Amino acid sequence: MKQKKKKIVLRVIVGIGIALLIIIIVAFVLFRNELRSLMSLKKVDDYGMYQMTYYGDYGFDDFLETGAENDADIEAFVTKRLLKGLPINLGVTGDGCTAFVVKNENGDILFGRNFDYLYAPSLQLYTAPNNGYASVSTVNLSFAGYSEDNLPSGLLFDDFLTLAAPFLPFDGMNEKGLAITVLAVPEAEVPYNPDKITLNTTTAIRLVLDKAATMEEAIELLEQYNIYFSGGIECHYLIADASGHSVIVEYVNQELCVVEAEDEYQIASNFIAYDGLNIGEGFTEFERYDKVQNAIEANNGILEAGQAVQLLADVGIFDGNIDKLQWSVLYNLTTGYGEIFANRKTNNIIGFNLDMDN
């Protein structure tokens, strides 16, 4: 009798083991790309800077079929498609940023960008969609709910929200040498066409990175969509390509307007530049613009990579004793090489390469 009970117990244990093994195998098959993505996540600076490669399809083409009228729509799509039901609450951040396009001593096109705000951890994200261009972009992780007291820890559950990153880029460069970044401005009057799909601040950037090879293509794409700015923080975009063509895209009088470069370089700050309006926020936006312009002019219209990096660090915003510079990134649109660093820490510059196809 005892022997029979032992056999029954053994069979139950074996059965449970087999069931668990099947569950693990099924979970691995269903979530293999998500697991690969999370396993690639690594911290590159203790300030809160990370890198990750997103494997598999993040569903952006499906998203473009419906778009999003508000942040809740994006949260619902990302929750269902990428986070397997785990909810996300998009936070909204934006403040004083500075960006510029300039040639280096070899004629390469450099695209530099600062993000200034209160503490914001960042993620450098690599994507390669089947129906789009490979790119590297910088994601504001506070947009996904992370903070100084809540950072990705290396534990699967703590890291899971980083899977929303493809929908949250704040700047980036694709394999064609097309780069884009977003900067806050005091106002933007966007057009609305009920027959067009609507995108938000960051999914418009994803659209350009995935689908545009040139600055002209980027503008044509943006004209095909409505746009709303998350959290009511109005913005404009600086866009440049490997040929050196660049524009600032702004929304004025319910029209998409472009500010073309008047020189061999172009600078964007936190003021409306279209048609000489120069509508600012009343902080340091013009001072920062002038500082970048003076540095470029002093070097006869060019900057070496080291000079560009130092300039980014120099023009980052201090608000009293608070250092608001969260990250700086420099993209070489000609070679695909770049450098990124957190919080003015030029002693820890992380170099990277994106294979170019241009």
**pLDDT digit string, tens, across residues 310-355:** 999 999 999 888 899 999 999 999 999 999 999 999 999 999 999 9
Mean pLDDT, residues 181-210 taken together:
96
pLDDT, averaged across the chain: 90
* Helix axes 201-211 and 215-223, enclosed angle (nearest 10): 130
**In this structure, what token pair is assigned to residue 211?**
């689908």
Q: Any idea where the domains of the chain sit in the sequence? A: 1-40, 43-353
Residue 10 is predicted with a pLDDT of 60
Spatial distance between the Cα atoms of 38 and 17, rounded to a whole number of angstroms: 26
43-353 in CATH: which number?
3.60.60.10
* pLDDT above 70: percentage of residues in the chain: 88
Residue 16 is predicted with a pLDDT of 67
Mean pLDDT, residues 39-57 taken together:
96
* Tens-digit pLDDT profile for residues 119-164: 999 999 999 999 999 999 999 999 888 999 999 987 666 788 899 9
Is the pLDDT at 87 greater than 90? The verdict is no
Spatial distance between the Cα atoms of 152 and 160, rounded to a whole number of angstroms: 8
* pTM, full prediction: 0.91
DSSP secondary structure, 143-183, as one string: GGT-BTTB---SSHHHHGGGGGGGG-EEEEEETTS-EEEEE
**In this structure, what token pair is assigned to residue 322?**
């608070």
By CB neighbour count within 10 A (0-12 exposed, 13-18 middle, 19+ buried), where does 345 fall?
middle
